Amino acid sequence: MLTQPLVRQILRALQGHEAGLKLEGIAEAVGEAGSAGLRRIGKMVAQLADVSLVVRRAGVYAVNDSFWNDFESCIHGLWPLPLDDAPQAVQEYTSGGLLVRFPENVEQQWQLVQVVSTRLNLSPGGMSEAEVNDELSRFTTEPATLRRLLIDFRSLDRNSDGSSYFRVVDYR
Write down the pTM of the prediction. Answer: 0.57
When mean pLDDT is compared across 30-34, 76-80, 127-131, 147-151, the lowest value belongs to 76-80
Of the residues 26, 51, 78, the one at which a domain ends = 78
Cβ atoms of 83 and 91 within 8 Å: the answer is: yes
Same domain, 92 and 22: no
Would you list the DSSP string of 7-32?
HHHHHHHHHT-TT-B-HHHHHHHTT-
| Beta partners for residue 61, in sequence order | 21, 56
DSSP bridge pairs for 98: 95
Q: Is residue 150 domain-resident?
A: yes
> Is residue 172 one of the residues assigned to a domain?
no
pLDDT tens for each residue of 14-56? 877 778 888 888 888 887 778 888 888 888 888 888 888 888 8
Segments forming the whole domain that contains residue 152: 88-167
Residue 83 belongs to some domain of the structure: no
Task: Choose one of 31, 49, 78: the last residue of a domain.
Answer: 78
Phi-psi region of 74 (alpha: psi -120 to 50; beta: other; left: phi over 0): alpha
How many domains would you assign to the chain?
A: 2
Question: How far from the centroid of its chain's Cα atoms is residue 142's Cα?
Answer: 8
Residue 11 belongs to domain with CATH number: 1.10.10.10
Last residue of a domain, one of 78, 107, 131: 78
